[in-house]
């Protein structure tokens, strides 16, 4: 994977976590291993290490948790001669990556991704961030890792719903030029997603252009997560976001019914939700979408069209709200 700090390895395969000592930056004296209580996988950085447990769930991605984590680093005496290792899913890699970016103005970080969602998306690419009550990932940094380890063995313990959540992220890659991932074995499917993301990141590391296309389906997904109160995993929300983006593109005359049907067929194949949660507050979702990071020209979405995916700004709020109505439970 390329970055402004130079390329870094992404190792994919059974038992990849056991190669951690190979990729810890040369000269690092100690490693702060950031993880969660429900992550069963142990790692060995090959140097002195200490385990730092952060809370479970999306709520852990907060400035308060980052502050407490950094204070615990300081009490242990973590220095610029040391490193951070994130072991877990996307919440852990986002949180630990951001803490590494700001503690002592930047420590190297290695991600050991243990969920499908983290392996195909969250742990690779160098974006880190935490949430505010006003929106998801509104505070963060571009901080490329020193390496990423995608151990597909760890996916064997994922609950079915968490695995499907990762497939929600995989679904978007079909619209970014990746062939049907369902035809590949797991290791090859993860590698195909990482390779696709690497191409976008190499062209646009700081998301000033084409990299924004990797957020396909995420405008509504992030709004659903921001508004909160809904029983949705991130990948489930992305699946709904893909369905929504197709319907919005149709309403704007960018694609036809067959394009919408294509999106639905793919999302259905992964067993992801087809309707917004019951009792959804559409006005609150539109307000949250106004605060999306891409919204530099009014309501902004990644949408399909005659030329493929494009960033489309200035979408009228009434059109956005009306399209939400297409996915509301009868």
190 within domain boundaries: no
Confidence (pLDDT) at 205: 81
Confidence (pLDDT) at 5: 65
Which CATH number does the domain housing residue 129 bear?
3.40.50.1970
Is 111 considered catalytic here? Answer: no
Q: Are residues 18 and 136 in the same domain?
A: yes
Is 19 considered catalytic here? Answer: no
Catalytic residue selected from 205, 215, 243, 250:
215
Is 326 considered catalytic here? Answer: no
Confidence (pLDDT) at 3: 67
180 within domain boundaries: no
- Structural domains counted in the chain: 2
Q: Are residues 116 and 235 in the same domain?
A: no
Catalytic residue selected from 17, 131, 137, 169:
169
Q: Are residues 36 and 148 in the same domain?
A: yes
Q: Are residues 17 and 102 in the same domain?
A: yes
178 within domain boundaries: no
Instruction: Among 158, 192, 224, identify where a domain stops.
Output: 158
Is 293 considered catalytic here? Answer: no
179 within domain boundaries: no
44 within domain boundaries: yes
214 within domain boundaries: yes
Q: Are residues 142 and 237 in the same domain?
A: no
Q: Are residues 145 and 225 in the same domain?
A: no
Q: Are residues 151 and 211 in the same domain?
A: no
Confidence (pLDDT) at 206: 80
Residue 58's domain comprises 10-158
Q: Are residues 137 and 212 in the same domain?
A: no
Is 218 considered catalytic here? Answer: yes
Is 105 considered catalytic here? Answer: yes
Q: Are residues 105 and 48 in the same domain?
A: yes
164 within domain boundaries: no
Q: Are residues 114 and 39 in the same domain?
A: yes
Which CATH number does the domain housing residue 284 bear?
1.20.1090.10
32 within domain boundaries: yes
Confidence (pLDDT) at 183: 87
Compute CA 48 distance to the chain's CA centroid, rounded to the nearest angstrom: 30
The ranges of the chain with pLDDT < 70 are: 2-5
Q: Are residues 139 and 219 in the same domain?
A: no
Is 258 considered catalytic here? Answer: no
Q: Are residues 143 and 252 in the same domain?
A: no
Confidence (pLDDT) at 173: 96
């Amino acid at each position: 994977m390329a970055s402004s700090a130079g390329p870094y390895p992404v190792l994919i395969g059974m038992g990849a976590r056991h190669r951690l000592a190979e990729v810890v930056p040369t000269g690092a004296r100690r490693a702060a291993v950031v993880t969660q209580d429900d992550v069963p996988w142990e790692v060995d950085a090959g140097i002195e290490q200490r385990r730092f447990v952060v809370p479970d769930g999306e709520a852990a991605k907060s400035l308060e948790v980052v502050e407490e984590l950094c204070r615990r680093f300081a009490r242990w005496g973590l220095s610029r001669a040391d490193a951070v290792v994130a072991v877990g899913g996307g919440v852990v890699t986002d949180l630990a990556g951001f803490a590494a970016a700001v503690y002592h103005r930047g420590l190297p970080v290695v991600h050991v991704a243990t969920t499908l969602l983290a392996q195909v998306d969250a742990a690779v690419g160098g974006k880190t961030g935490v949430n505010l009550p006003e929106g998801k990932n509104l505070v963060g940094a571009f901080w490329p890792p020193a390496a990423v380890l995608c151990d597909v063995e760890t996916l064997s313990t994922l609950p079915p719903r968490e695995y499907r959540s990762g497939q929600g992220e995989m679904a978007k890659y079909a619209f970014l030029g990746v062939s049907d991932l369902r035809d590949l074995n797991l290791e090859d499917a993860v590698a195909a997603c990482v390779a696709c993301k690497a191409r976008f990141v190499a062209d646009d590391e700081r998301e000033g252009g084409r990299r924004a296309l990797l957020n396909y389906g995420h405008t509504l997904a992030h709004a659903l997560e921001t508004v909160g109160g809904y029983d949705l995993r991130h990948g489930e929300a992305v699946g709904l976001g893909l369905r929504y983006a197709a319907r919005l593109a149709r309403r704007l005359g960018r694609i036809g019914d067959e394009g919408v049907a294509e999106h639905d067929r793919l999302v259905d194949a992964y067993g992801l939700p087809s309707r917004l949660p019951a009792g959804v507050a559409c006005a609150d979702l539109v307000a949250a979408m106004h605060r999306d990071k891409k919204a530099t020209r009014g309501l902004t979405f990644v949408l399909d069209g005659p030329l493929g995916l494009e960033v489309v700004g200035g979408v009228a709020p009434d059109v956005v709200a009306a399209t939400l109505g297409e996915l509301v439970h009868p």
